[in-house]
Chain A
Amino acid sequence: MKLSRRALLTSLAAAGAGVTAPGVFAPAVAQAKPCRIGILAPRSGIAASAGESGLRATQWAVEKFNVGGGIAGRKIELVIEEETNPKDTIERFQKLVQQEKVDCVQGIVSTGVGLALGPVAEEARALTIYWDGTTQDGVDEKLPNPKYLFRSTDNECEAVMSSLLAIKHWKGQFKTIAGINPDYSYGRNNMAAFVALLKRFSIEHEVVTEQWPKVGTMELTSHVAALKAAKPDLIFSSLLFADLPVFMKQAHAAELTKGTKLVFPAAGWQHTLMKKDFTPEGMIFGHNTLYFDNPKATALQREFVAWYADKFKDYPNWEADRAYFAIASYKDAVENAAKAKGASWPAIDDVIGALEGSSVESLGGKGSWRKDHIADQTFVQGFSTHANKYDFVTLDPARIETMYSTELQKPAGTNFWDWLKMAKFQI
């Protein structure tokens, strides 16, 4: 849904009408004043496609909710701003909160922006729900006990899950491992988590090369050659964006992927670019919180995927699920709080209280909010297959694994690396 000045003006006019015509209709008009939700999503640069996927899911949710009467009787109106660098995104956030007076802000994909925005959201006392970008690397001291801020599941969840799958299925089948991960905290943490879990399960291993290409590097043949020279049994890679299909293509051309075990926790973020031509079968392939072709998908997911495929000739990735979870859990919390308070629009503290510990059905399965405002969601990973009707790989239906993030992310107040050493993992 595009932000349109006209929509804004109409809503202002509606608010104005409420002022000029007090009396009988006043409560009804107050109810009819739309619920404004501000969205901060990347539209340009590397994360643009993630932002687009999230925006589309939000748009779908809003249309669906508005048909059913909106949120607690108020129609939803979106105000969309762009997520760019930390400095400018904070400005857009403040515009949403102070000028547009939105009831809730949702969005954010980048970790850096998320870290910078957190304290601002707290100071502004503005209810803010992140789609993505929560890193657990020392996050405990960076944003302790937020009140207004609700953050996504850990970025590291998918790496933990992929590592567990690799250990479960391939234990004893690999010794030398190599990594090629994007040169930022996400890539660094994912690789470190994989190695830490190998140690935790006493898997004998040797890291033969670790590469950190800059995000956005489109020419990876040298990296591929260097990996090939190291002759690893297994390659762990959390490459994402366009970098990943480029790597796969060049790796395939150099026959790096033949006979090498591949663990790719973030592959599902750009799954439609992972063409069968160059993406092998049998790699561990992470779809995070939404696998569009899940045979066990709920009716809700099926409806959404069908709409998405029909409208955009494309298949959604997990950012869509994150965005849906954000807006659906907000709606649920507002309505529960309103019910508890007797049908009036609830105060922000009541909405926050209702969000804590709540659960909703998101696109990819159940999602809930912990007391410390971190999301728990359903993760799907598996082994890639070519047996499908698409030109890109999907998951082998017989080998799909589903885990709830309570098993994948550290509980409140612990250190991620300590937790990896002592947690009880289900393998």
Chain B
Amino acid sequence: MPAAISAIANVLIGGIFHAAVLFLVAAGLQLVFGVQKIVNLACGSFYALGAYFGITLVNFGLGAGLPDWTLLPLLVLAGLLMVVIGPPIERLLRAVYDRDESFQLLLTFALVLMFQDIFRLVWGANPRSLNNVHLVYGKWTVGDFSVPVYNLLVIGAALLTAFLIGLFLKHTTFGRLLRATAENRAMAEALGVNVRAVYAAVFTLGTLLGTLGGALVVPTAAASLDMAVEFVIEAFAVVVIGGLGSMPGALAGAGLVGLIRAGALVLYPEFEILAIYLIVIGVLLLKPSGLFGKPAA
């Protein structure tokens, strides 16, 4: 591969990896917003929770003698286990379902505040990170182009998730129920849908996407106290660009944000963060429903 092309490929794959993680968390946000009309500020906290617990479980597992290749299964397991916080939080949110959306937003803001201290209480003030275990799957190298296979696996996992969610929403009975509830809650209720159960399932699934995203990213990153507050803003950028509540939108938005960041870094590094917010505002103004969302009421 010629040097210029491999350089571009390196930048692109970096952007796509970032996009993959963003997609997982944004998909959780979208699902919950799409069905329950709740903007969940705590999605960043779920992400951080997945990251912290992922480290704990991997350290425990590998420390107990499991082979290194179990890293990915352990992380997925960590994401799955942390889903236990989904139902109780959904139970809490149930108290404000019928209220103005500002109450729901604020309740999730309260969760953000609480989680900050819970992380410190449980995992301490020091950032946590793993050794280089994610290189256990090797690297894929072509000339100057090189990417850890782990990163490709995460990208694959994100795409698989997108595919499964799509399949689930389109082709399963529960998926149809879910879409019907999202479309018209009263109608769905009248038709005998157990909306309460649907909400509980949706929120739990949304939580899972967040914790899974955090667990999958942590081998290449670190878990720290500020990650939740920082990450939620970027996840928001994704859902706004893609369109609130839209799954394809989450995929497109994540891809766009990842690539814009990567592109800006090469062309004009000073512009990196600014570029994302400008695009968010541009999208909101020109097409507030986002690239894939339904028109705003």
Contacts and interface: CB of A to CB of B under 8 A. Distances in A.
Interface of A: 43-46, 48-49, 51-52, 209-214, 216-219, 221-226, 228-229, 241-242, 245-246, 249-250, 252-255, 270, 272-273, 275, 277-278, 314, 391
Interface string B5-23: 0011011111101100100
A216 B227 contact: yes
A246 to B, nearest CB: 5
A254 B117 CA distance: 34
A260 to B, nearest CB: 14
B51 to A, nearest CB: 9
B132 interface: yes
A245 B129 contact: yes
Given A253-B134, A254-B10, A277-B131, A43 B227 contact: no
Contact of B226 (A45, A52, A209, A245): A45
A390 to B, nearest CB: 12
Nearest to A252: B132
Contacts of A51: 125
A228 B11 CA distance: 9
Given A221-B17, A253-B139, A246 B131 contact: no
Given A219-B18, A229-B7, A253-B134, A242 B117 contact: no
Please give me the 4 A-B residue pairs with the lowest Cβ-Cβ distance, nearest first. Answer: A242-B127, A277-B132, A48-B125, A221-B14
A218 B221 contact: yes
A150 B212 CA distance: 47
Contacts of B273: 214
Given A221-B220, A222-B11, A275-B131, A48 B17 contact: no
B262 A225 contact: yes
A140 to B, nearest CB: 28
A273 B127 CA distance: 8
B184 interface: no
A221 B7 contact: no
B183 interface: no
B105 interface: no
B224 A46 contact: yes
Contacts of B261: 222
Contact of B220 (A210, A214, A249, A255): A249
Interface in B239-297: 258, 261-262, 265-266, 269-270, 272-273
B101 interface: no
Contacts of A245: 127, 129, 222
A225 B225 contact: no
Interface string B131-158: 1101100010000101110010000000
A212 B274 CA distance: 12
15 contacts: A45-B225, A49-B127, A52-B124, A209-B269, A218-B217, A221-B13, A221-B220, A222-B11, A222-B14, A228-B7, A229-B11, A241-B224, A242-B127, A253-B139, A254-B147
A45 B229 CA distance: 9
Nearest to B265: A226
Nearest to A42: B125
B116 interface: yes
Interface of B: 7-8, 10-15, 17-18, 21, 116-117, 120, 124-127, 129, 131-132, 134-135, 139, 144, 146-148, 151, 217, 220-227, 230-231, 258, 261-262, 265-266, 269-270, 272-273
Contact of B266 (A229, A270, A391): A229
B6 to A, nearest CB: 9
A253 B134 CA distance: 9
Contacts of A255: 146
Contacts of A44: 116-117, 120, 125, 225
Contacts of B262: 222, 225-226
Nearest to B132: A277
Contact of A211 (B18, B144, B269): B269
B226 A43 contact: no
Nearest to B150: A253
A187 to B, nearest CB: 12
Contacts of A43: 120, 125
Q: Which residue of A52, A212, A216, A229 has the most chain B CB atoms within 10 A of its CB atom?
A: A229
A249 B220 CA distance: 7
Contacts of B217: 218-219
Contact of B126 (A49, A209, A214): A49
Given A44-B117, A273-B222, A221 B127 contact: no
A211 B132 CA distance: 24
A225 B13 contact: yes
A132 to B, nearest CB: 16
Contacts of A217: 230
A273 B129 contact: yes
Contacts of A221: 13-14, 17-18, 151, 220
Contacts of A246: 129, 220-222
A347 B12 CA distance: 64
A52 B132 CA distance: 26
A333 B17 CA distance: 55
Q: Which residue of B18, B139, B220 has the most chain A CB atoms within 10 A of its CB atom?
A: B220
B134 A242 contact: no
Given A241-B127, A245-B129, 11 more contacts: A43-B120, A52-B126, A214-B272, A219-B21, A221-B18, A221-B151, A222-B262, A225-B12, A225-B266, A249-B220, A253-B139
